[in-house]
Each structure stands twice: as C-alpha cells, then as structure tokens.
Structure 1
C-alpha cells in the first residue's frame, strides 16, 4: 500500500473476545503479514466479561499448533470509538451483529456484517466453542482461516 492511501481497518467481534474474535485477529494479521499487507487489525467483545485477559488457552493452543501466536492479545469490550475508527466490523454470529447494530450509530451500520460472509463454508456463523471441547476450537479455526482468506481476497481486488 502506498503511504498516501489510508490503511484499511478491521475489527473482529464476538461475545466475550476470549475465543473467536481474538483467533480471527491473530489469523488475519498473520495471513496479511505473510502477504506483505498492512491493515489495522483488532478484536473486541460485545460484553466485557474478560477485559484485560489473554485469549482462552484452548484457542491459543489450537492456533499455536497451526503457527498462529495469540499470546500477545488482550480481551476488551467494543467501544463507541470503534464504530468510527474501523472500516469493517465483523461479527462472528448473528447475535453479535444484532448487538453491534443496537450500539452503533446508524451512519456506521453498513460497516457491520457477519465474518463468514467472506468464507467458502457451509456455515453462516462461527460457533462459540467456549463450553465445548478441542474439536470445537479446531472447527472455529478452520472457519476463521477460510473467512480470512476470503476477506483478504476481497480487500486486495
């Protein structure tokens, strides 16, 4: 990207910012870096259950096994400023999208969409793996990798 062109910004959002959205942030950042692309990338939750905490250890372990490092990430809640600051606000499920649109000023609603709109998967939403086992976290990572590839393709057209 040229220095004169603004950097595209992407915010990934789930409920608690402990599993899905930090995984999406880490995977997308890794893939963008591998392609030599510069984006502003962050993640947040619609609820502040885990503010300041690291991502769920299970998410970190599954991601690490595929070469993604989530250890530097910290959970946080979506803020009013996020709606103004980010170009793309991508919810992991329909409930996240609804919660975001309730909090978001009307003029920024078009920025909000489902992350899996960019995937080539049979799923519409990234399921919450929090109360499940390792297979759920692996499925989440599969879906996030797929949607990240689709989003990168869309942003680099």
Structure 2
C-alpha cells in the first residue's frame, strides 16, 4: 500500500529528474520501502514529451546499476501538487517555475532535492545536457547522496504512520 508520493522535477525530464527517479526507486527497493512510496518524474517544460531519458543519462546510470529505459518524459501539471506529498526540484529555476504553476504550494512540499544531501554541499543538481560525461557523473554523485537523505527521511516518516 502506497502511503507517500514523491515527484522529481527538472526542466525537460530527460536527464536529471529521470536519473533521480531511477536512483531513488533502486534505493527504496534496497531499503524495503518501494511498496510504500509512489514515485514519478516530470519536466517543467514540454520539450521532450514521451521521449526516453537522454542516451547519456541512461548510459551513465546503467554503469551504476540504474535502468532508466522504461521512463518517458512528461510535463508537470497542477494536479501533481495534489497527487504528490513531496515535489523535489533539481535547481532554483525549476522551483520558480513550479511556484508559478502553483503559487500556494507549501515550502514543505516543494523543495530542492539537494536539501537532502549530506556529503555534497551544492544547492542544485547541475544540468548536464550541454556537457559531456563528467557532468552526468556529477549528477549521479549528487543524486545518490540526496536520495540517501530522502530514504532516511522516509524511514522516519513511514515509521510514524505504521
């Protein structure tokens, strides 16, 4: 039974947010929490609707054991703010776009993914789209760190709702 829902958001939903979805999905499975958490990703723009994640994102993720091949890009909608308990944006520009879409959203519901990181002290997950391999590695490093923090938060939160 799903008791918590998380949406990962970036600009086009082909690099950072599907990577974050894939990483968190794997970490939830390893933590025994997958059955209790609904997970999805979306973009703030409609540039790549219906397309799979960027081939580079898929390749680098797969090298670390995360399969993103089944994911498809979609655009975030107002209804997502009702459906999801937590909307995690990759950067401040995404936060601004999401706030414009739903100005009343609580700061507890809309946060930067990196606010959960413990090893990396960056505020944002950088967009690797126009770069090369090292950018995709950095995204994975940051996302893995932040997703560990999300799992820790969920363990605590879901323990209270048993």
TM-score by length of 1: 0.94
Unpaired segments ≥5 residues, structure 2: 157-162
State how 1:90-109 maps to structure 2 within 5 Å.
90-109=88-107
Asked whether 1:86 is paired with 2:94, we answer no
Deviation at residue 35 of structure 1 after TM alignment? 1.3
Aligned pairs (5 A) from 1:54-65: 54-65=52-63
Deviation >3 Å, runs of 4+: 107-110
> 1:123 matched to which residue of 2?
122
Distance 1:45 1:142 in 2: 21
SS of the aligned residue for 1:25 comes to helix
Give the alignment's Cα RMSD to 1 decimal. Answer: 1.1
Structure 1 residues 107 and 98, CA gap change in structure 2 (3 angstroms): closer
**Structure 1 match to 2:19:** 23
How many angstroms does 1:66 deviate by?
Answer: 0.5
Conservation of the 8 A alpha-carbon contact between 1:83 and 1:105: no
Match of 1:43 in 2: 41
Contact 1:101 1:109 in 2 (8 A): no
Residues of 1 paired with 2:55 and 2:23: CA distance?
Answer: 16
Structure 1 regions of 5+ residues with no counterpart?
Answer: none
Tell me which residue corresponds to 1:137.
136
What TM-score comes out, normalization by structure 2 length?
0.91
